């Protein structure tokens, strides 16, 4: 018998794993994202605690299902393409944090991430010049991995790297 995750995902391969909220609670709800554009199954599945099940901005779901609490709150199984995941990162945290809009670069993710990296580096340098530590410092190494992967055309590694940056961005 297939699990609820297999059923809801349409038995597709996982495209990405994200942690979209830092919460110590176990999930009690499995939120089913909207239908996948290309084929059966949900675009993503999010494990949420009761608090985050009622209000997780940017992750409106098609349906909620009970979950036995096996996963931490905020875990998202993402079945979208790497390109769609990158756009999600831009919408949820990259553009708000850096001001870099992918639309201005015609979808050239290497250029988007080069500019975002410049913005982050400038902010870290400004903080250092003021004698302060910047929490963005931790993001620079992972952003560099994302930037170099995008330049090679490896959007899967790019999306995975931005997933880690997303976790770091939550701490800002």
pLDDT band at 165 (very low <50, low <70, confident <90, very high): very high
> Can you give the pTM of this predicted structure?
0.87
User: What are 163's two structure tokens?
Assistant: 């997933």
pLDDT tens digits, 46-98: 999 988 888 777 777 777 888 877 889 999 999 999 999 999 999 999 999 99
Closest CA to 113 of 167, 79, 155: 155
3-state secondary structure of 46: strand
The sign of the torsion formed by the CA atoms of 143, 149, 154, 157 equals negative
pLDDT at 121: 95
Q: How far apart (Å, rounded) are the C-alpha atoms in residues 34 and 142? A: 29
pLDDT tens digits, 104-149: 999 899 999 999 999 999 999 998 999 888 888 889 999 999 999 9
Closest CA to 143 of 50, 49, 134: 134
pLDDT at 2: 61
pLDDT tens digits, 1-59: 568 888 888 888 888 889 888 899 999 989 888 887 777 788 899 999 988 888 777 77
pLDDT at 71: 87
Closest CA to 74 of 56, 62, 94: 56
CB 79 within 8 Å of CB 9: yes
User: What are 107's two structure tokens?
Assistant: 């979808």
| DSSP assignment of 94-109 | IHHHH---GGGGTT-H
Instruction: List Cβ neighbours of 105 (8 Å cut-off, separation of 6 or more).
Output: 111, 112, 115
Q: How far apart (Å, rounded) are the C-alpha atoms in residues 133 and 149? A: 27
3-state secondary structure of 22: coil
């Amino acid at each position: 018998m297939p699990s609820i995750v297999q059923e809801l995902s349409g038995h597709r391969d996982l495209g990405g794993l994200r942690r979209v909220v830092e919460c110590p609670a176990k999930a009690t709800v499995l939120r089913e994202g909207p239908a996948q554009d290309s084929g059966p199954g949900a675009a993503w599945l999010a494990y949420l605690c009761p608090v985050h099940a009622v209000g997780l901005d940017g992750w409106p779901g098609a349906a909620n299902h009970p979950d036995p609490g096996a996963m931490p709150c905020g875990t998202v199984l993402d079945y979208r393409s790497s390109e769609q995941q990158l756009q999600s990162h831009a919408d949820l945290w990259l553009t708000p944090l850096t001001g870099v809009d992918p639309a201005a670069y015609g979808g050239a993710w290497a250029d988007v991430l080069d500019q975002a990296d410049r913005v982050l580096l400038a902010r870290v340098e400004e903080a250092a010049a003021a004698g302060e530590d910047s929490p963005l410092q931790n993001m620079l190494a992972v952003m560099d991995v994302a930037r170099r992967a995008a330049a090679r055309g490896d959007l899967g590694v790019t999306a995975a790297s931005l997933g880690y940056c997303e976790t770091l961005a939550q701490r800002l």
